[in-house]
Structure 1
């Protein structure tokens, strides 16, 4: 079948493979070295054969003309035979020279080991390296990438696209799907361990006493703590009223055994009444001295939290003890489960607050991008900077894809594939060489005859 291969399976066009040798397809006929010859390639190869036949036929024609005119010239046909013979002779030379040049690209002419022939098969790897360097220098340079991206006007285009409600809905749905997929893939135990460790480490490294002190200082200065004091006084008063007998019994039970019972009862009643009076006055009198004492205590405590070394150290020890408790660690770890369930539920519900806010944000961003030139420049600058960083940082890896792929191609199939694509045009070089050679030979012969005359 003259080395023809048919593409089967999913292959269409050429495939770049890494390594050497052939990849097995779903059936017979797949090309080796990562190439697959499809119907379009076969049609191109038929075109190359037709043009080869035409170019070779033209060579045979001028050779036949040369033979006939040489015979005619010796037979005394006249001066015209010399002109035609010279043109045919130069045409043969031009045709043969161009046949050699075109053939030498893909194979050794007549199978002879002539130096600098079969260029593509023998120089394939060097061509791959040169192609990779060419792409890296001329297509993956920072200036080229930045200029190309800037010419696209990505900011304005993206803004106009996002400003359409249908497009915003689509992006929102895609983001929700991606978010659900990511949360589904993640294992809860792994995430819980990471979240728990992160929260614990963050809490352990951050000193909380100064922050608590500043907050408490502001609360006391604004009088925000007074509502808490009011509530404590109210609850303490109500509890004391409800449990008066218990309070008096506790006082009597703590009396010495040698005191008379009626004295213990009187003492208990007196203590209870004084407590009840104190709490009643403190509840009803905003300017009660005890309230002032509470204010001073909280103010001093807030200052100690910020400046007293011993107080701050005690708070840190207490914090560490609380964080190390199993109950606290369980609460921290279980936070991920609740957050995950909440996010998945919000992502699945088209009318959830999360999706509605995302959609609204996308529409707002699109409208601003479509009209705000400064925002467009900023977004385009971010995109250009990110792409330029990736391209310049990983340029060697990107170009190595070209060089490694070319290195993995089979030399013979590479030559046949390239010839199928450009061989038809190369045959025109042979035809043009024949015609141009004939014209040049005719011109030289004419000039020689004229000067000789």
Structure 2
């Protein structure tokens, strides 16, 4: 009884190998049975001929005798491929065990030269029409649904495999390193300069002035308390209050005029200040250095690092939620994009040609660059097997068909022996 084992090593039988072994044994039994049958027929025919049964017995004996010779010769030839017939070390037998390394190398070279050649790969990919088939397949809604679902599953699986702490650490380190390496002052200066030139800052100034006015209106007592708190101790309180009231009214008037008058001098002074600051950000080394130090201090703050780290958690949760919900915007857009790609591939011949060209170039690049590694997989695998295992595996795959040689040898030998006997008898008669 054959024991089937998983393919844990080169010497173990797989389920497919076990089935091949059963078929090989059946064919061997059939070929051997036919040899035994012609041997029995030869013995009976020879006995009958000696007993004077007639000329027919000679014909049968000659056919059976030639059939036995043919069967034995072909048995020897087939057996000599895999082992020493009858265990005898006859020269040029057990060919496969003796030449397994050369066979593995030759097989690898054959595959590399005839299957991995650039023109063969390109012709095969061209005949497949990958882009056309892909476009036709993706343009069907049910297939787009399937691809979308598989992508969502892959995204969920990938996100769950990743360790949050590792990703957060990498993300924080990458952003910090990028921020440290990239000087922001010139870019900020150019942005500020362009903004002032295009009056893009006016609405921000309007907002600040409006908020300042509203704050002063609501916090009059706060302003008065601040002025009184900064006055000398020897001044009377009513004087402090009158001074505070005057300061408050002047501040309120100034802010109101600045809010209501786009041409207020203070606005012009602010524009000049921003323009000068934008120029310094771009060209003044001291200002740029100070901004860079501020940037470094800001990025290094624990709150900022925590914010960077928490961004991954929020992004991960958002993607997971979207991937799990079939009606999410992300899933719907992915589905629409896949359908769009399929429709365009199905209708745009130029795009199909480009995609086929990219696939062919990429495949040829891989095949050309790794042909030796691919073919060495064959030769190294065969070389790693022992001679008995190699012979056994090859016999399992082709041995059943080789048994037909034995069957044909028996039949053809019998017919040839019959013909030779008939010719000989006719010539002698």
Q: CA separation in 2, counterparts of 1:100 and 1:120?
A: 14
1:417 to 368, 377, 396: 396
Separation in 2 of the partners of 1:284 and 1:85?
129
What are the superposed Cα offsets for residues 321-361 of structure 1, whole Å, 9 maximum, x if unpaired? 01111111111111111111111110111110000000000
Task: Select between 377-386 and 59-68 the one with higher mean Cα deviation.
Answer: 59-68
Q: Distance in 2 between matches of 1:392 and 1:61?
A: 61
Aligned to 2:180: 204
Q: Residue 157 of structure 1 corresponds to which residue in structure 2? A: 133
Confirm or deny: 8 A CA contact 2:24 2:400 kept in the other structure.
yes
CA contact (8 A) 2:172 2:309 kept: yes
The whole-number CA distance in structure 2 between the counterparts of 1:355 and 1:172 is 7
Using structure 2 for the length normalisation, give the TM-score. 0.84
Q: Where does structure 1 lack aligned partners over 5 or more consecutive residues?
A: 23-30, 72-76
Residues 1:40 and 1:251: Cα distance change in structure 2 (over 3 Å)? closer
Residue deviations 1:14-66 (CA, integer Å, cap 9, x gap): x765455x5xxxxxxxx5xx686534542342223323443565588789989
- Structure 1 Cα separation of the partners of residues 218 and 224 of structure 2: 12
- The answer to whether the aligner puts 1:408 opposite 2:385 as a matched pair is yes
Match of 1:74 in 2: none
2:367 maps to 1:371: no
Quick check: 1:93–1:437 contact (8 Å CA) kept in 2?
A: no
Deviation, 1:172, is 0.7
For structure 1, which segment, 150-159 or 184-193, has the greater mean C-alpha deviation from structure 2 after superposition? 184-193
1:46 aligns with 2:26: yes
Q: 1:94 to 1:348 in 2, by over 3 A?
A: closer
Asked whether the 8 Å contact 1:7–1:36 carries over to 2, the reply is: no
| TM-score normalised according to structure 1 size | 0.80
Cα contact 1:94–1:436 (8 A) shared by 2: no
Q: Distance in 2 between matches of 1:152 and 1:183?
A: 35
Q: How many residues align?
A: 423
Q: 1:122 — aligned with what?
A: 98
Partner of 1:217: 193
Q: Is the 8 A contact 2:210 2:259 kept in 1?
A: yes
Alignment of 1:303-314 (within 5 A): 303-314=279-290
Measured in 1, the distance between the counterparts of 2:153 and 2:64 equals 74
Residue from 243, 255, 263 that aligns with 2:219: 243
Alignment-derived partner of residue 108 in structure 1: 84
Higher helix share: 2
Contact 2:74 2:405 in 1 (8 A): no
More displaced stretch, 187-196 vs 414-423: 414-423
CA offset at residue 222 of structure 1? 2.1
Mind listing any 5+ residue stretches in structure 2 that lack a counterpart? none
Change in Cα spacing, 1:420 to 1:87, as seen in structure 2 (3 Å) is closer
Q: Per the alignment, do residues 255 and 100 of structure 1 end up closer, same or farther by CA in structure 2, a change over 3 Å counting?
A: closer
Change beyond 3 A, Cα 1:245–1:99 = closer
Residue 300 of structure 2: which of 298, 307, 324 is its match?
Answer: 324
8 Å CA contact retained: 2:193, 2:278: yes
Deviation at 1:161, TM superposition (A): 0.6
Alignment RMSD (CA, Å): 3.8
1:175 maps to 2:144: no
Given the superposition, is the C-alpha separation of residues 241 and 186 from structure 1 closer, same or farther in structure 2, using an over 3 Å criterion? same
